[in-house]
A and B are shown apart, each in its own frame.
Chain A
Amino acid sequence: MDFTFSEDQLLFQSSVREFLVGEVTPQRIRASWERDDGRDPDLWQQLTELGLVGLTVPEAFGGLAMNELDFVLLAQECGYVALSEPLVHTALVAVPMLRELGGELAATWLPRIAAGESKVLVGLQQNLVVEDAHVADLLLLQQGDALYALTQDDIELRFNESVDPSRRLYAVTIRPGAEPIARGERAAQLAAAALDRGALGCAAQALGLAQRMVDLAVSYSKDRQQFGKPIGTFQAVKHLMANVAVRLEYARAPVHRAAYSIARGDGVAPRAVSQAKLLACEAANLAAKHSIQVHGAMGYTWEVDLHIFMKKAWALANTWGDAGFHKARVADYIFSEGAQLGAGATFAGASA
């Protein structure tokens, strides 16, 4: 039993954090809002050079061959800076799906991903719209009982504007003639695995977003003076933030457990992911609610950076399975016959 990350994993996390905090500033995020496609090719290039884009790509295809557990701490850091580029989507969802598909598709696209030449994204029925479909060189799309691998020539896109200007969302229609790459059971399995991975990505980012909002609000509470003292000295303000800290503290381990289960492929993964996403997104939503309160009217402006993180948190809470979907999955388990509950059950299904 060792529920800790290795020194290497922690070191990697802190170097990625340093990079992201330095490069992915709120100013840079705002600048990308102004661009037509909303994306930042220079940043993608930098992420590629750091090996992050190809982190989960096998070595044979030019990647670093790391797994979901290696990536989860980095996904937290992506959340901390509200990274808009589809890095978490790529490393946690698209690459594993290509790995699973194997063959020609994997051999063609994985090296291109690792080299930063192509973007591959995934669209699931569970999601109303597809993130970043407009920049996908290849779109792995679930429709009906089939899974398709599509290029821009095969699809028509309808833009859906999000409350979070960083998120570029599209409804996708497949042009006639495209042939599925998987059907039935196989397609459903691939999509289910992708959903768990996408949800894990949301959960990990939500942890980072929550932490960022706490940091912003705490820092504001030290500067802003009312009644002749910093507002952070008022107990009502303190306790708002303390309540966030409590929920955040108890959301982390479940996210790490979910990443472990996915990396090991143990049967616990779906419900571990659902618990993690519920807890982490709730913590992030609470952080948003209390952080805006601590900022007063400033928090209600476009000008102050808080909304960059708040809006992403709101969006993540209801994508890759909304709260109802994930709660229902947990409920199905705990109310089922033979569910392992109670003391000693938590790690019963964990594989070594």
Chain B
Amino acid sequence: MDLAYTEKQQAFRAEIRSWLAANIPASPLQSFDTAEGFAQHRQWEAKLNEGHWGMVTWPQAFGGRGCDLIDWLIFEEEYYRVRAPLRVNQNGIFLLGPTLMEYGTAEQKARILPKMACGEEVWAQGWSEPNAGSDMAAIRARADLKGDSYVINGQKIWSTRAVWADWLFGMFRTDPDSERHRGLTFILVPLDTPGITVRPIPQLDGLPGFAEVFFDDVEVAVENRLGDEGAGWQVAMATAGFERGLMLRSPARFQETARRLVELYKANSGSADRDPGVRDAVIRAYIDAESYCLATYQTACRLGQGGKIGAESSTNKIFWSELDQDMHATAMSILGARAELLPHAPEAVGVGTWLDGWLFSQSGPIYAGTNEIQRNIIAERMLGMPR
């Protein structure tokens, strides 16, 4: 065990730090759940990619740096430290990209990855359907092979960023007689294909962060199938796989929230201390964010040495999403009567972006597999409790 960064790691940190200092947008971008903000974030992705910072863990051949998970954690630390823009490209570069590298054909990789990397093509995910939420195997949207194309009919819902995205990846039922996990196929769909209707759904903040996607005889060339027909579930599990779970929410994000929470508390301690629970909650936030970081480093090091991660990764999702909710709840308590005010309200002095964060933190325990589903997985697959 040696908890000091190597010289190479320190140099890497210095490099990304100075690149960010020179390139970060002068003022915060607008929300990527607006048309203008989406375009700004797309540009930012292009800039990141130019500097080969788009996805440091991608192989060099695809525009990455071939970094290990520790470098990735360092990258994220520097990224969140300066509050660089959120990643509009996340679905593509974190989820689909690695899956394509594993399951895609050479032609697919060459065709898709470069445009994904530079933000020219932004991806949405299409798993959920009105009647297939936690129970993803209940997917009904159909894709029927006719000649060289799949003809898709049905509906997806809650598709993040689908309003302005260019492509959607997801699972469709290719065998109409199949049930549950069988007969599903992983297909990549250009969102401008005729027959597709995207209906924006406003989220808690009123902005259309996700959408319903309707498919009406949508023809998609068979070359857009990822993996074998009927193997969709396996490919999807790789996309949602354990290691990816680790990368979805890096510790840096929550450590920065904890740091800002300490600052908020210090700036308001006179009023905040009237509720003695607040101080305790701030201390807890710091301790838990630290432990999330320590545990993630430990796992990353273990994986780097060839270790495996299994169902215990479900603890990760629960831990960060509840931490995030708790931290924002504490911030709301500290802000008191100002907490409900939108940032542009005249009396909203010193409220920062806490309200936005509070709203978004409500979704953490729901998306990417609800925390109840994660608890089922932990109990059955990690602890071995009976089904």
A interface with B by C-beta (< 8 Å): 1-6, 69, 214, 218, 221-222, 229-230, 232-233, 235, 237-239, 241-243, 245-246, 249-254, 256-257, 260, 275, 278-279, 327, 330-331, 334-335, 339, 341-347, 350-352
- Verify if B53 is at the interface (C-beta below 8 Å from A): no
Inter-subunit contact B385/A253 (CB<8 Å): no
Q: B380–A238 contact, CB under 8 A?
A: yes
Knowing A4-B301, A239-B372, the reply to whether A343 touches B81 (Cβ < 8 A) is: yes
Quick check: B78 and A214 within 8 Å, CB to CB? no
- Given known contacts A232-B386, A341-B262, A343-B77, is B295 in contact with A252 (CB within 8 Å)? yes
When C-beta atoms are compared, the residue in chain B nearest to A334 turns out to be: B286
**B287–A350 touching, CB < 8 Å:** no
Q: When each residue 356-387 of chain B gets 1 if its CB lies under 8 Å from chain A and 0 otherwise, what string results?
A: 00000000000000001011101110111111
Q: Please name all residues of chain B whose beta carbon is closer than 8 Å to the beta carbon of A233 when the two chains form the complex.
A: 385-387
Flag if A239 contacts B379 (CB, 8 Å): yes
- The contact of A345 among B6, B255, B315, B387, by CB within 8 Å, is B255
Minimum distance in angstroms from B294 CB to a CB of chain A: 4
> In terms of DSSP, what is the predominant structure of the interface of chain A?
helix
* Chain B residues near A278 (CB-CB < 8 A): 287
Find out whether the CB atom of A331 lies under 8 angstroms from the CB atom of B315.
no
Asked if A350 and B4 sit within 8 Å, CB to CB, the answer is: yes
A29 to chain B, nearest CB (A): 25
Interchain CB contact under 8 A, A1 and B376: no
List 17 A–B pairs whose Cβ atoms lie within 8 Å, in order of A's numbering: A4-B1, A4-B305, A222-B386, A232-B379, A232-B386, A245-B378, A246-B318, A246-B378, A251-B291, A253-B297, A279-B291, A335-B262, A335-B266, A343-B252, A343-B253, A346-B290, A346-B293
B contacts with A, residue count (CB < 8 A): 60
Q: Please name all residues of chain B whose beta carbon is closer than 8 Å to the beta carbon of A4 when the two chains form the complex.
A: 1, 298, 301-302, 305
Per the bound structure, the CA–CA distance linking A242 and B322 in Å amounts to 14
Quick one: given A4-B301, A342-B259, are A250 and B283 in contact (CB under 8 Å)?
Answer: no
CB-based nearest B residue for A230: B386
Chain B contact residues, majority secondary structure:
helix
- Closest-by-CB residue of B relative to A274 is B287
Q: Check B3–A260 contact: CB distance below 8 A.
A: yes
Question: When chains A and B are docked, how far (Å) is the Cα of A229 from the Cα of B301?
Answer: 41
Q: Do B255 and A238 touch across chains, with their CB atoms under 8 A apart? A: no
Q: In the complex, what distance in Å separates the CA atom of A278 from the CA atom of B380?
A: 28
Complex Cα distance, B290 from A260, in Å, reads 16
A253 touches B295 (CB 8 A): yes
* Separation of A5 and B301 alpha carbons in the complex (Å): 10
Q: Which residues of A contact B259 (CB under 8 A)?
A: 341-343
Mask of B98-128 contacts with A, CB within 8 angstroms, 1/0? 0000000000000000000000000000000
Contacts of A239 in B (CB 8 A): 372, 375, 379
Flag if B283 contacts A330 (CB, 8 Å).
yes
Residues of B within 8 A of A327 (CB): 280, 283
Cβ contacts under 8 Å, A214 to chain B: 383
A253 touches B294 (CB 8 A): yes
- Does the CB pair B379–A238 fall under 8 Å? yes
- Alpha-carbon distance A254/B301, docked complex (angstroms): 15
Name which residue of chain A comes closest to B80, CB basis. A343
Q: Verify B4–A352 contact, CB threshold 8 A.
A: yes
Q: Which residues of A contact B78 (CB under 8 A)?
A: 343-344
Please provide the chain B residues from 293 to 351 with a CB less than 8 Å away from any CB of chain A in the complex. 293-295, 297-298, 300-302, 305, 312, 315, 318-319
Residues A246 and B255 in contact in the complex (CB < 8 Å), given A3-B297, A238-B375: no
Residue pair B386, A351 in contact (C-beta under 8 Å): no
Q: Does B244 contact A (CB under 8 A)?
A: no
> Once the chains are docked, how many angstroms separate the CA of A347 from the CA of B293?
10
- Whether the Cβ atoms of A232 and B385 lie closer than 8 Å is yes
Flag if A241 contacts B290 (CB, 8 Å): no
Per the bound structure, the CA–CA distance linking A136 and B77 in Å amounts to 49
Nearest Cβ distance between residue B45 and chain A, in whole angstroms?
21
Closest B residue to A249 by beta carbon equals B315
Is the CB–CB distance between A245 and B256 below 8 Å? no
Q: Could you tell me if B255 and A343 are in contact, using CB atoms closer than 8 angstroms?
A: yes
Q: How near does chain B come to A342, taking the closest CB pair, in angstroms? A: 3
Asked whether, in the complex, the Cβ of B291 is within 8 Å of the Cβ of A1, the reply is no
Known pairs A341-B262, A342-B81, A345-B255; A5 contacts B291 (CB<8 A): no
Within 8 A of A (CB), among B1-38: 1-6, 9, 13
